Structures are given as C-alpha cells and as structure tokens.
C-alpha cells in the first residue's frame, strides 16, 4: 500500500493547479487499468520505496505518478482538497470558464451533493451561488480590462454577460468605475 501525505498532495495541487481544476470539473473515474507510462511510473515508485530511496526522490517520483494520473483524467478524488470550503471550490471551478452558463444543479452534481445541500453549505460559509458567480465574472473582467486590449463587449461576452450595458452596470456597482473609464486609465 502507498500512502501519500497531505503536504505532497497540497504541493501538487498548487504546482499543477490548472490540471487539477480541469480534472475536478468532471465526474471522477474510479477505476481504470494501469498500462503504459502509468504502469512504469507506478512500478518505479514502488521499487524506489523498496530500495528506501531518499525522501526528496520518493516525493519526486510520487509527483510524477500524480501528474500522469491527472493528465489521464484519473485520480480526481485524490486531488480534491477537503479542507477547502465549498465556496472556494465553487470559485475555482467557475474560474476555468467564467462565461459559462453555470447552474447550481450542475455544480451540486459535480460536487456529489444535492442542490439544497450545496445551498446550505454556501449559506453556512456566508456565501451564495449568485454572489460567487458575479465575483468570479467581474474579477475576471477586471483582469482582462487591465491586461489586454480586447474590446469591452468581447470581455463582457467572455465573462458571461450577453448585454454590454448590463455588464457595465454590474462592473460600476462592484468597482465604482465604468469599464470604459478604467480602460482609459490603462492604455
């Protein structure tokens, strides 16, 4: 049996955040035959444990195996950070596609809970689905306005707003400045 410590998994989540978030966005695949590269990495890790290799080398080999699992779309259950609150997990998932038409029922299914349970957990953490979605979309838009030359209408669309004027209203309410005014300060 192989035991992966929490620090190793946390380090992996940080180092390969994009791969982990993409993997967690899909229902987990609980079983898959081990073949090819995965088999080789698995065998090498067990052989290294048997040879009592140094801790840094074992960690390196374990991370290689974890990366292979993630890239193959496997091991999602390993990568879910149970310490992270549901609001943060929701936020991380939405950040992958801020313009997507997110539905609470879909996210609840993705997190293996009922809609009412997800609402209750968000409420316990002092959050709501709509507020988190707005926050993700508007913060993404802010970053795009400051770091790209994309037209404001395109930024609004990429962040899930069908109406340029509705986007502008929400943006001004959140940040106290209209997108056009902000763009003028960041040529």
pLDDT tens by residue, 58-71: 889 989 988 888 88
Q: Which pLDDT score, from 0 to 100, does residue 9 have?
A: 78
Out of 37, 58, 79, a domain closes at: 79
Domain range for 14 is 6-79
- Whichever domain contains 95, its CATH number is 1.10.10.60
* Model confidence band, residue 122 (pLDDT cutoffs 50, 70, 90): very high
pTM given for the model: 0.60
Assess if residue 47 is contained within a domain.
yes
**pLDDT, greater one: 75 or 147:** 147
Same domain membership, residue 91 and residue 135:
yes
Which pLDDT score, from 0 to 100, does residue 10 have?
78
Q: Are residues 88 and 21 in the same domain?
A: no
Q: Looking at residue 25, what is its pLDDT?
A: 67
Last residue in a domain, options 44, 79, 114: 79
Contacts of 50 (CB under 8 A, 6+ apart): none
Q: pLDDT digits over 39-56, tens only?
A: 899 889 888 888 988 888
Same domain as 64, residue 117: no
User: In terms of domains, do 27 and 119 share one?
Assistant: no
What is the pLDDT confidence band of residue 28, given thresholds at 50, 70 and 90? low
> For residues 165 and 180, is the Cβ–Cβ distance under 8 A?
no
Neighbour-count burial for 73-85, b at 16+ CB within 10 Å, e otherwise:
ebbbebbbeeeee
Higher pLDDT, 130 or 24: 130
Q: Are residues 58 and 134 in the same domain?
A: no
Together in a domain, 89 and 177: yes
Q: Residue 50's pLDDT is what?
A: 85
In a domain, 142, yes or no: yes
pLDDT at 3: 66
Burial degree of 145 (CB within 10 A; 0-12, 13-18, 19+):
buried
Residue 159 predicted with pLDDT over 90: yes
Residues 69-120 pLDDT 10s: 888 877 776 776 666 788 888 888 888 889 999 999 999 888 788 999 999 9
Q: Which of 6-10, 22-26, 50-54, 159-163 has the highest mean pLDDT?
A: 159-163
Report the percent of the chain where pLDDT is more than 90.
41
Question: Of 20, 54, 79, which residue constitutes the final position of a domain?
Answer: 79
Q: Using CB atoms within 10 A of its CB, is residue 137 exposed (0-12), middle (13-18) or buried (19+)?
A: buried
For residue 1, is it within any domain?
Answer: no
Residue 159 falls within a domain, yes or no? yes
Residue 145 lies in a domain: yes
Same domain? 97 vs 174: yes
Task: Please tell me the predicted confidence (pLDDT) of residue 81.
Answer: 62
Q: How many domains does the chain have?
A: 2
pLDDT value at position 65?
87
Q: How confident is the model at residue 174 (pLDDT cuts 50, 70, 90)?
A: very high
Residue 109 sits in the same domain as residue 183: yes
Do 89 and 161 share a domain, yes or no? yes
First to last CA, the chain: 57
Torsion of CA 26, 22, 102, 89, to 10 degrees: 90
Residues 12 and 101 in one domain: no
SS (H, E, C) the chain: CCCCCHHHHHHHHHHCHHHHHHHHCCCCCCCCCCCHHHHHHHHHHHHHHHCCCCHHHHHHHHHHHHHHHHHCCCCHHHHCCCCCCHHHHHHHHHHHCCCCCCCHHHHHHHCCCCHHHHHHHHHHCCCCHHHHHHHHHHHHHHHHHHHCCCCHHHHHHHCCCCCHHHHHHHHHHHHCCCHHHHHHHCC
Same domain, 133 and 65: no
């Amino acid at each position: 049996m192989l035991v992966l410590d929490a620090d190793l998994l946390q380090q992996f989540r940080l180092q390969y955040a994009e791969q982990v978030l993409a993997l967690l966005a899909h229902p987990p695949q609980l079983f898959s035959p081990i073949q090819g590269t995965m088999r080789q990495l698995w065998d090498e890790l067990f052989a290294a444990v048997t040879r009592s290799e140094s801790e840094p080398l074992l960690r390196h080999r374990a991370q290689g195996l974890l990366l292979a699992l993630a890239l193959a779309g496997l091991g999602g259950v390993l990568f879910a950070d149970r310490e992270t609150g549901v609001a943060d997990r929701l936020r991380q998932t939405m950040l992958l596609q801020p313009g997507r038409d997110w539905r609470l029922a879909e996210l609840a299914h993705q997190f293996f809970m009922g809609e009412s349970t997800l609402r209750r957990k968000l409420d316990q953490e002092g959050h709501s689905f709509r507020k988190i979605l707005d926050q993700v979309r508007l913060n993404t838009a802010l970053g795009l306005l400051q770091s790209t030359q994309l037209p404001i209408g395109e930024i609004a669309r990429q962040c899930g707003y069908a109406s340029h004027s509705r986007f502008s209203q929400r943006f001004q309410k959140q940040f106290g400045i209209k997108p056009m005014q902000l763009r003028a300060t960041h040529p």
